[in-house]
């Protein structure tokens, strides 16, 4: 558990930021600019889900934003029943409109903190979680949510995560922090890079890829896979 957690952004602050950022999160082709390799990780996560669960019927998208990952998933496995979760109602409304136009399946929206999600056991074939788990705070939160996801998946079901990460080694973390800052500076200069780092420091509490893979195995997943890693971002998943 981190001592600085009490100084982090509240859910209401996070919700307010995303309420006002719907358009940026509605670009299916480019994804979020601040996320390195966003189009690649979206493609890999959804393609992995298709290969593991080609006959899927039930999809859960945690922190769905404007629905990009679900739309990409529907382009590979059509007419899924889609359950969309986010803190932001404007995001959910945009996601529902976009997703409903691409599936004949049922579309359900849930506005809530991911820690409060309550689903039947063995219900979903695929769970997607893009750029959202880094909002979890304590180790207890992380294990609680990973356990919820495990229980909600059918045997053989899979979760695919694309997210901001940190690194276990302080020096390696500094290496990738410097590389990420250099990337951000190519987008908007030093001031823009600092702005992104400031909101990461205030809003996010990422964990390392090693930490998350070990936790997925701890809560019961039988297989874990790394799809892609570049600097401060990774795409990975697990099979129940």
Question: How far apart, in whole angstroms, are the C-alpha atoms of residue 33 and residue 38?
Answer: 7
- Please tell me which residue, 25 or 215, carries the higher pLDDT value: 215
**Ranges of each domain in the chain:** 3-167+206-239
* Domain 3-167+206-239: homologous superfamily in CATH: Vaccinia Virus protein VP39 (3.40.50.150)
**3-class secondary structure for 185-228?**
HHHHHHHHHHHHHHHHHHHCCCCEHHHHHHHHHHCCCCEEEEEE
**Distance in angstroms (rounded) separating the CA atoms of residues 228 and 189:** 26
Q: Per-residue confidence at 162, pLDDT binned at 50, 70, 90?
A: very high
Residue 20 scores a pLDDT above 80: no
Mean pLDDT on 95-118: 97
Residue 29 has pLDDT above 70, yes or no: no
Q: Which single residue is written with the structure tokens 């889609």?
A: 82
Beta strands 153-164 and 233-239, pairing class: antiparallel
Ramachandran angles phi, psi of 205, nearest 5°: -135, 70
pLDDT confidence of residue 199: 86
Give 114-133 pLDDT, tens digit per residue: 999 999 999 999 999 999 99
d(CA 77, CA 218): 30
Higher-confidence residue: 171 or 31?
Answer: 171
Q: Which of 97, 104, 37, 40 is nearest to 64 (CA)?
A: 97
Rg of the chain's alpha carbons, rounded to an integer? 17
Does residue 5 surpass a pLDDT of 70?
no
Arithmetic mean of pLDDT, 172-201: 92
């Amino acid at each position: 558990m981190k001592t600085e957690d009490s100084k982090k952004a509240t859910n209401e602050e996070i919700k307010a930021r995303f309420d006002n950022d719907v358009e940026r999160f509605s670009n299916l082709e480019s994804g979020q600019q601040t996320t390195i390799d966003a189009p690649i990780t979206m493609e890999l996560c959804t393609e992995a889900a298709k290969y593991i669960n080609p006959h899927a019927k039930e999809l859960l998208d945690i922190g769905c934003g404007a629905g990009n990952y679900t739309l990409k998933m529907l382009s590979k496995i059509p007419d899924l029943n889609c359950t969309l979760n986010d803190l932001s109602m404007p995001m959910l409304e945009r996601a529902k409109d976009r997703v409903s136009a691409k599936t004949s399946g049922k579309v359900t929206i849930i506005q809530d903190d991911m820690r409060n999600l309550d689903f039947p056991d063995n219900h979903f074939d695929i769970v997607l979680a893009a750029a959202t788990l880094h909002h979890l705070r304590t180790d207890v939160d992380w294990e609680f949510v990973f356990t919820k996801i495990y229980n909600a998946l059918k045997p053989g079901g899979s979760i695919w995560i694309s997210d901001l990460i940190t690194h276990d080694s302080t020096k390696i973390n500094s290496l990738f922090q410097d590389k990420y800052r250099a990337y951000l500076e190519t987008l908007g200069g030093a001031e823009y890079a600092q702005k992104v780092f400031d909101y990461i420091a205030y809003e996010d509490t990422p964990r390392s890829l090693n930490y998350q893979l070990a936790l997925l195995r701890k809560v019961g997943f039988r297989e874990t896979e790394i799809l892609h890693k570049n600097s401060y971002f990774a795409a990975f998943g697990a099979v129940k």
